[in-house]
Amino acid sequence: MNITPVWAIFIGSIFTNNILFASFLGMCSFLVCSNKIDTALGLGSAVVFVMFCTTILNYVLYYYLLVPLKLEFLGFLIFIAVIAAFVQFVEMFVERFSPDLYYALGIFLPLITVNCAILGAALFMVIRKYNFVQSTFYGLGAGLGWALAIVLMAGLREKMGYSNVPTPLRGTGVVMMVAGVIAMAFMGFAGMLNIQ
Amino acid sequence: MSSSTAVSAAPSAAKWKKTLGDGLYTANPITRQILGICSTLAVTNRVDKALVMGAALIFVTGLSNLFLSLLRRLIPNRIRMIAEMAVVSTFVIVIDQFLRGFYWDISRQLGPYVALIITNCIVMGRGEAFALQNPPLLSLLDGAANAAGYAMMLAIVGIFRELLGSGSILGITLLSSAWYVKNQLLVLAPGAFFALGLLIWIFNVINPPVPRETEK
């Protein structure tokens, strides 16, 4: 049982233990989709929603189905299946009931299945032994933290278009360097609280 | 799928060599294709973690490529992503249980990153791009070569970060604290970004990328 208070988990998962800058999860889509703020916002909000819901679903399935049956080693398979199925379901639902939202978010949804931050949130929830309420807030916080990170980076990359970056460093190289500087800023909060 | 090319005779020696070279150097997954970055950043603050992670990835990518290639005529196109996921997760579970059983200490330090091999873009990418079109043994080589290219980069970044960050390699102190001030930043998260950024920069200077038309 983890005794960290819920508010600390929530704030910590956004800032000090940001899932992207401290745990390096979801780098692939972070690198590819951080060119424009609009795209980043769309993908970010889709990640917040999917991560929040799948963390809850995975918690219920893991602790009420796999643990009683002593099938914990199948956890990975269940997590990834839940994420893939959920994303597919949301895509169909949104397309049917809200075409506007579908055009805003729809194209990002398939990308999310392979976003390792979503699977990572489920795995951290198990490793850190969070209870239900803690997991819920962790899922929400981690999603918000990821969205914050990609929007920040997109803003910087839009400005970076005007700067003279050395040719071999262009693209991924310079994004890594900038991400390193942002990660240092996020770590500045680490003295205040550090979640386990 | 495109099984017409696969029916042809056994691949030539040149093809074998090219597959190996592409994976290891010319199209290295990390410096050139920018795949599998998450674990590269996360496990490289110590060399032993980097080596175990590299070995685990060689195992998973090689074998999942082999099995996907064996099954490539049987997998319907529409559900191939799910089939790929199932094959990959099976091997990840095997390696995770093995590490837990025999190397508990290192397994605990790697934490969720062994399980996260499932969503590692290299494994899925090689399955999708290579194994579903090529014969089994060549696919095995392709998977292993790409994963070895990844493991090599992991080892380089790991040596750089552990040597300058903790003054040691594999736990053996090389830079004595008497005269070397450890750069703690390299062990922490931001150091990972700087180290990988530098590595990509250096490789782009040595081996400039061929400009692609699709690039903006």
Query: What span, in angstroms and rounded, lies between the C-alpha atoms of B67 and A186?
Result: 43
Please tell me which of the candidates A120, A123, A176 has its beta carbon nearest to residue B200: A176
Give the mean model confidence (pLDDT) for residues B158-176.
84
pLDDT above 50: residue B6 = no
To test the contact with chain B by mutation, choose from A16, A18, A21, A28 the residue with the greatest count of B C-beta atoms within 10 A, namely: A28
Q: Is residue B197 included in any domain, yes or no?
A: no
Quick one: pLDDT at residue B62?
92
Q: Chain A: nearest CA to B90, how far in angstroms?
A: 8
Query: Alpha-carbon distance B142 to B121, whole Å?
Result: 15
Kindly state whether residue B114 falls inside one of the protein's structural domains. Answer: yes
Q: Which residue from B62, B44, B35 is spatially nearest to B148, judged by alpha carbons?
A: B62
Locate the domains of chain A by residue range.
6-191
Report yes or no on B6 lying in a domain.
no
pLDDT tens-digit readout, B78-137: 777 778 888 888 899 999 999 999 988 888 888 888 888 888 878 888 888 888 888 888
Burial of residue B187 (CB within 10 Å: 0-12, 13-18, 19+) is middle
* pLDDT tens digits, one per residue of A32-68: 788 888 888 888 888 898 899 999 999 999 999 988 8
Numbered residues of chain A with Cβ closer than 8 Å to any chain B Cβ: 21-28, 31, 73-77, 80-81, 84, 113-116, 119-120, 123-124, 127, 166, 168-169, 172-177, 179-181, 183-184, 187
pTM for this model (two decimals): 0.83
Task: Name the residue among B41, B97, B205 with its Cβ closest to that of A27.
Answer: B41
What integer best gives the mean pLDDT of chain B? 82
In a domain, B41, yes or no: yes
Number of folded domains that form chain B: 1
- Distance (Å, whole) CA B105 – CA A77: 24
Q: How many CB pairs under 8 A join A and B?
A: 111
Tens digit of pLDDT for each residue in A130-175? 999 999 999 999 999 999 999 999 999 988 888 888 887 887 888 8
Segments forming the whole domain that contains residue B21: 17-154
Encode burial over A159-184: b for 16+ CB neighbours within 10 A, e otherwise: eeeeeeeeebbebbbbbbbbbbebbb
Q: Which residue of B has its CA nearest to A25?
A: B38
Contacts of B118 in chain A (CB under 8 A): 76, 80, 119
